[in-house]
């Protein structure tokens, strides 16, 4: 019975759903052994370090991941970085196929003057900071001013804005990293602006995220009713309104009509505002926006500007993949043809394949599509290329599934006593010792 060995690089949603698709495709004539590599000692990728802590239900998919990992033909190699601890050239000959599920972890740049000033961050730094990613614990997030500006009109921008605009007591019962929670409790930020460069009708927010805004208990959410009305008129004039846009416009109307409670904390949406420049003397002090308008369906710069005084700007305008030695990247993604890396036995799934779009569940169908191609491409005879363990340097403490289970259980146990789902350990040597 053909028994194929598949390597999956990256233990995030794309990685686990790839493993699941392989497991589901098995039959008496087709068996897969799966080795999953992850550079961190912790698993679940964006489910751990991306999903906002006040959205715990989304994280329940981790139970599915752990079920996938409990299969006897699944091995975990955590704390092993492909491209650094082992090369892709050492992996490829040992497996029938290698699936890169390494996501996109680098924030896209605005490309405007002042972007490098202290206090100008990417969501790719801010989000893993509050979520306890070990590499981002020391990110400097200035919370001494009273105003923050978030650039971008997508769900990541919304997550960043909520985390800054909520009363931090609302995060006390979540798994927000302790260093971030302490900083948010001491934060002076009371007003959070979210700036979109086009109109509300073009925003990438999804309507469930918008509909939850009027329910915030300690934060007023502000959008100008005229802006919503104008967006609706423009959408009507442009022809049939798409379902996603109609749902968003309705959500905007409800936000605009929701009475303001006069909370000291607010989140305020500004549209048709394109970032032009970040100014400041040694730190961010001001963001200059160009005011756009929409003429005949096109976004046009009016030449007018608006300034917002702030010490914290977070750009949430998308991501691209980090480079991995031995893998070819193009346009911020692994260079691929529908998931196949042509001329190799490498495949790719998730954000590394298609760019940073879709929700966690999108990776399930993406993985199923790529696994179908992978199976079509398999040689009739498995490769039998030898075990990978011989090439992993002995100095690296590998976190296997048993070790990861110990980390997971220790974090949950630490959380139970203080009424949180878990307390995340954020120091790599500490994580490694929890696994022992």
Chain residues in the site for ligand NAP (CB under 6 A): 110, 151-157, 159, 196-198, 202-204, 206, 209, 275, 316-318, 356-359
Q: Rounded to 5 degrees, what are φ and ψ at 347?
A: -130, 170
Pick the closer one to ligand NAP by CB: 95 or 289.
Answer: 289
Q: Shortest Cβ distance from residue 2 to ligand NAP (Å)?
A: 37
Q: Shortest Cβ distance from residue 129 to ligand NAP (Å)?
A: 15
Q: Shortest Cβ distance from residue 71 to ligand NAP (Å)?
A: 28
Closest CA to 141 of 159, 154, 125, 152: 125
Estimate to the nearest angstrom the gap between the alpha carbon of 214 and the chain centroid. Answer: 24
Q: Rounded to 5 degrees, what are φ and ψ at 38?
A: -140, 135
Pick the closer one to ligand NAP by CB: 85 or 322.
Answer: 322
Estimate to the nearest angstrom the gap between the alpha carbon of 258 and the chain centroid. Answer: 30
SS3 state of residue 124: helix
Q: Shortest Cβ distance from residue 16 to ligand NAP (Å)?
A: 17
Pick the closer one to ligand NAP by CB: 79 or 245.
Answer: 245
Closest CA to 225 of 248, 255, 193: 255
Q: Shortest Cβ distance from residue 199 to ligand NAP (Å)?
A: 9
CA–CA distances in Å: residue 160 to residues 9, 50, 83, 277: 28, 11, 31, 21
CB 66 within 8 A of CB 412: no
Shortest Cβ contact with ligand NAP: which residue? 154
Pick the closer one to ligand NAP by CB: 175 or 425.
Answer: 175
Pick the closer one to ligand NAP by CB: 61 or 431.
Answer: 61
Q: Classify residue 120 by burial, with Cβ atoms within 10 Å: 0-12, 13-18, 19+.
A: buried
- 31 has which bridge partners? 3
Q: Shortest Cβ distance from residue 278 to ligand NAP (Å)?
A: 12
Whole-angstrom Cα distance, residue 424 to residue 418? 13
Q: Shortest Cβ distance from residue 90 to ligand NAP (Å)?
A: 33
Residues in the chain: 436
- Residue whose pair of structure tokens reads 């009027």 in the numeric block: 214
- 323 has which bridge partners? none
Which residues have C-beta within 8 Å of that of residue 138, sequence separation ≥ 6?
none
CB 20 within 8 A of CB 74: no
Pick the closer one to ligand NAP by CB: 168 or 356.
Answer: 356
Pick the closer one to ligand NAP by CB: 198 or 234.
Answer: 198
Q: Shortest Cβ distance from residue 94 to ligand NAP (Å)?
A: 33
Pick the closer one to ligand NAP by CB: 62 or 206.
Answer: 206
């Amino acid at each position: 019975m053909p028994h194929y060995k598949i390597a999956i690089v990256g233990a995030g949603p794309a990685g686990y759903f790839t493993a699941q698709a392989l497991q589901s495709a098995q039959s008496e004539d087709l068996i897969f052994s799966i080795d999953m590599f992850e550079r961190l000692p912790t698993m679940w990728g964006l489910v751990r370090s991306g999903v906002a802590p006040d959205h715990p239900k989304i994280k329940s998919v981790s139970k599915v991941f752990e079920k996938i990992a409990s299969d006897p033909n699944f091995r975990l190699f955590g704390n092993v970085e492909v491209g650094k601890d082992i090369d892709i050239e050492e992996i490829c000959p040992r497996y029938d196929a290698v699936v890169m599920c390494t996501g996109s972890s680098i924030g896209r740049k605005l490309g405007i003057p002042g972007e490098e000033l202290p206090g100008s961050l990417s969501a790719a730094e801010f989000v893993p900071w509050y979520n306890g990613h070990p590499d981002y614990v020391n990110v400097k997030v200035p919370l001494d001013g009273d105003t923050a500006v978030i650039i971008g009109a997508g769900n990541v921008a919304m997550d960043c804005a909520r985390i800054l605009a909520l009363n931090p007591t609302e995060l006390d019962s979540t798994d927000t990293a302790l260093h971030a929670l302490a900083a948010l409790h001491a934060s002076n930020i009371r007003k959070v602006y979210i700036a979109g460069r086009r109109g509300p009708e073009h925003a990438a927010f999804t309507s469930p995220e918008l509909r939850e805004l009027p329910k915030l208990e300690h934060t007023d959410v502000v959008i100008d009713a005229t802006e919503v009305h104008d967006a609706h008129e423009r959408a009507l004039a442009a022809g049939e309104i798409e379902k996603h846009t109609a749902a968003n416009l309705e959500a905007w109307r409800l936000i605009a009509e929701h009475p303001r409670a006069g909370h000291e904390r607010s989140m305020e949406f500004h549209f048709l505002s394109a970032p032009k420049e970040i100014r400041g003397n040694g730190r961010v002090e001001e963001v200059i926006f160009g005011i756009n308008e929409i003429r005949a369906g096109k976004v046009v710069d009016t030449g007018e500007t608006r300034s917002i005084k702030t010490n914290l700007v977070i750009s949430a305008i998308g991501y691209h993949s980090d480079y991995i030695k031995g893998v070819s990247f193009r346009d911020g993604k692994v260079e691929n043809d529908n998931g196949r890396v042509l001329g190799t036995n490498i495949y790719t799934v998730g954000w590394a394949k298609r760019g940073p779009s879709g929700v966690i569940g999108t990776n399930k169908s993406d993985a199923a599509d790529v696994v179908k191609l992978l199976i079509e491409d398999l040689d009739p005879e498995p490769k039998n290329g030898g075990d990978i363990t011989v090439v992993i340097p002995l100095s690296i403490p590998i976190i296997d599934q048993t070790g990861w289970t110990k980390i997971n259980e220790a974090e949950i146990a630490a959380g139970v006593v203080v009424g949180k789902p878990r307390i995340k350990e954020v120091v790599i040597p500490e994580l490694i010792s929890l696994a022992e």
